[in-house]
Amino acid sequence: MPKTKVAMYGLTSEGYRLAGGLVDRSQVTIVDETLQMAMDVDATFLKKNPRLDVLMAGEPLLNLKPLGQVLSEAQVIFFTPKLRRPSDESLIEAATKLRDLAKYLSKGVTLVNALPTGPGGNADNIMLVEKQTGLKIGSTLAYAYMPVAPSDNKPAMVSVAGTPEKGGLSELGFVPNSQNIFSAELEYAEMVLQASMGSVTEIELARRAREAGVTLQKASDVYMDDFTKYLYELKAIQASEETGESISYLAGATQKSLENYVRYIVDETRELLKEKELKASRTKIDLVWSLDTHEIRGERQQVAENIQQRLRDYVTDVNLVSGSRLKGGSEVLDPLKHNILIACSRDDHEASRQAKKSHRSSEMTLVSATPALRRE
């Protein structure tokens, strides 16, 4: 029996991980929507290139196929686009890329949206697709919502509207776990809000504690990499509700607090410069953050750039480095300056501590990008 033909529309880490879970039971092709080209992947290929960053750092992509040919043959198409426009325009960018994809959809195809939406967001997507294609979801076209959170290998929710005529999802091992698409949207939004509001509560209480000069007994070990995980989702949730609605208010307030955290980091760094009487010319700041530059969302990279720009108001030498690069130490640290390391994830913190231990001759202060912004 021939394998289901699957296309990942978007050369992203999330799409690549989904492809890795499907190659044994389907014929998978990954589409680079920017280059308008595609490449087939199989188990051997993925074993050689276990992550997308490994693939992109290696040889140029070979055996590329035309985008139109791949999408016309695909039975199931996963929407996993790379979004890189400024943060306030990312929802518009997502809609634009979905409209571009819809031009290639044909009767009987299953379109799987792996990009999270707010409540009701998929209804807008379905309306867009039906208008663009002239097809009807539920009869001539199937639509599924399977939001994939950053760094996750599997969709958080699985929901389907309509039964496809060919190449369904059951053959791929996906079983619906929500009553319908709207319930899946609500369940995913609940998960996002609970996780994000817990983080901002810790951030704001820790800020008040620092201002009062007291120490919280239970200091959180959650890092900025975790805080910023759902920025895109919060934006989508806020945009999906009428202004003044409780859900919109919660999502907006959470975004605001997370945006303020950037200011808290800058203020803490400025206070550190003042306390240690560090001259700007004799100080080097490294934002240690192992970012995935190939993930769907661009928000975390934009947060990192925002922090860099703000810190450069006080110190010119501000760099973004990964924890793996920092382990080299001598390539990153400046022995002639006081090095301030701001660790943005648990792994980056460990790499920073190792660098501090290995280079005791270098002046160094480690700041953990946790709610308490503790120093070492």
Asked if pLDDT for residue 164 goes beyond 50, the answer is: no
Q: Are residues 157 and 232 in the same domain?
A: no
Q: Is residue 202 part of a domain?
A: yes
Question: Between residues 361 and 227, which one has the greater pLDDT?
Answer: 227
CA gap 156, 194 in Å, rounded: 15
263-266: long-range contacts (C-beta < 8 A, 24 or more apart)? Answer: 263/310, 264/203, 264/207, 264/373, 265/224, 265/307, 265/342, 265/367, 265/369, 265/373, 266/307, 266/310, 266/311, 266/314
Backbone φ and ψ of 13, nearest 5°: -60, -40
Q: Is residue 374 part of a domain?
A: no
Asked if pLDDT for residue 327 goes beyond 80, the answer is: no
- How does DSSP assign 75-100, residue by residue? SEEEE-----S-GGGHHHHHHHHHHH
Model pLDDT, residue 143: 95
Asked if pLDDT for residue 124 goes beyond 70, the answer is: yes
Question: Between residues 287 and 331, which one has the greater pLDDT?
Answer: 287
Model pLDDT, residue 166: 41
Q: Are residues 8 and 105 in the same domain?
A: yes
Q: Which residues pair with 65 in a beta bridge?
A: 38
- 40: burial class by Cβ within 10 Å (0-12, 13-18, 19+)? middle
CA gap 143, 123 in Å, rounded: 10
Question: Between residues 163 and 347, which one has the greater pLDDT?
Answer: 347
DSSP H helical segments within the chain, as ranges? 13-20, 43-48, 52-57, 67-73, 90-102, 121-133, 181-212, 224-227, 231-240, 246-275, 299-311, 323-326, 346-358
Measured from the Cβ of residue 89, the count of other Cβ atoms closer than 10 Å reads 12
Q: Is residue 376 part of a domain?
A: no
Model pLDDT, residue 62: 63
Q: Are residues 301 and 238 in the same domain?
A: yes
* Listed residues 136, 152, 177: the one ending a domain: 177
Model pLDDT, residue 245: 81
Domain count, the chain: 2
Nearest Cα to 259, choosing from 212, 306, 327, 324? 306
Q: Among positive and negative, which fits the CA dihedral 56, 61, 66, 72?
A: negative
Query: Residue 25 sits in a domain of what CATH number?
Result: 3.40.50.720
Q: Are residues 129 and 64 in the same domain?
A: yes
**75-106 residue pLDDT tens:** 999 999 999 998 779 999 999 999 999 999 99
Question: In the chain, what percentage of residues exceed pLDDT 70?
Answer: 96
- How does DSSP assign 320-338, residue by residue? EE-HHHHTT-TTT--TTSE
Model pLDDT, residue 267: 95
- Under DSSP, the state recorded for 230 is G
Q: Are residues 173 and 248 in the same domain?
A: no
Q: Are residues 280 and 303 in the same domain?
A: yes
Model pLDDT, residue 157: 93
Of 4-8, 90-94, 145-149, 238-242, the least confident: 238-242
Q: Is residue 268 part of a domain?
A: yes
Whether residue 341 contacts residue 365, with contact meaning beta carbons closer than 8 Å, is answered with yes
Question: Between residues 326 and 351, which one has the greater pLDDT?
Answer: 351
Q: Is residue 373 part of a domain?
A: no
- 308: burial class by Cβ within 10 Å (0-12, 13-18, 19+)? middle
Asked if pLDDT for residue 266 goes beyond 90, the answer is: yes
DSSP H helical segments within 276-332, as ranges? 299-311, 323-326
Full residue range of the structural domain in which residue 91 is found: 4-177
Mean pLDDT, range 220-246, rounded to an integer: 88
Q: Is residue 240 part of a domain?
A: yes
CA gap 170, 148 in Å, rounded: 18
Nearest Cα to 321, choosing from 307, 336, 335? 307
Mean pLDDT, range 194-207, rounded to an integer: 92
* Listed residues 148, 177, 206: the one ending a domain: 177
**297-310 residue pLDDT tens:** 999 999 999 999 99
Q: Look-up: residue for tokens 């490294």?
A: 286
Query: Residue 279 sits in a domain of what CATH number?
Result: 3.40.50.1400
Backbone φ and ψ of 303, nearest 5°: -65, -45
Model pLDDT, residue 77: 97
Q: What's the pLDDT band for 243 if we cut at 50, 70, 90? A: low
**60-75 residue pLDDT tens:** 566 788 889 999 999 9
Q: Is residue 361 part of a domain?
A: yes
Model pLDDT, residue 61: 61
Q: Are residues 310 and 188 in the same domain?
A: yes
Q: Are residues 159 and 82 in the same domain?
A: yes
292: Cβ contacts below 8 Å, ≥ 6 apart? 13, 53, 150, 151
* Listed residues 116, 145, 177: the one ending a domain: 177
CA gap 229, 344 in Å, rounded: 12
Q: Are residues 169 and 202 in the same domain?
A: no
> Coil, strand or helix: which one is 365?
strand
**40-60 residue pLDDT tens:** 999 998 888 888 988 888 765
Mean model confidence pLDDT for the chain: 91
Q: Are residues 201 and 146 in the same domain?
A: no
Q: Is residue 60 part of a domain?
A: yes
Q: Are residues 92 and 166 in the same domain?
A: yes
Question: In the chain, what percentage of residues exceed pLDDT 90?
Answer: 70
Q: Are residues 120 and 22 in the same domain?
A: yes
